[in-house]
Structure 1
């Protein structure tokens, strides 16, 4: 059986890093999306996909 994820079981420094990441990931994803629209390269598209996956996973509390 899978254990439930509890963010309070993490060390304080890791909870702090996670909180900062959650606050920064959405504006960074929006900026990368605008940048990808104007200058689409393979790296930009892959980075945008990774950022979107991270945003969704933080929003749904998978990470």
Structure 2
């Protein structure tokens, strides 16, 4: 059986980094999406995919 993740068991500095990451990742993904539409390169598409996966991981509490 898998142990449930409890964010309050983390040290305060890790929780603060996690909270800042949650606030920054969505606007950054939107900006990168617009940039990818205007100037598509393989790096931009890869970076956008990573940002979207990271945003989903934060949303579903995988991180």
- Normalised to the residue count of structure 2, the TM-score between the two structures is 0.98
Do structure 1's residue 54 and structure 2's residue 47 form an aligned pair? no
2:16 aligned residue: 16
Unaligned runs of 5+ residues in structure 1 are: none
- Normalised to the residue count of structure 1, the TM-score between the two structures is 0.98
2:5 aligned residue: 5
Cα distance, 1:51 vs. partner? 0.2
- CA distances 1:7-56 after superposition (whole Å, capped 9, x unpaired): 00000000000000000000000000000000000000000000000001
Unaligned runs of 5+ residues in structure 2 are: none
SS in 1 for 2:49: helix
Distance (Å, rounded) in 2 between the aligned partners of 1:15 and 1:57: 15
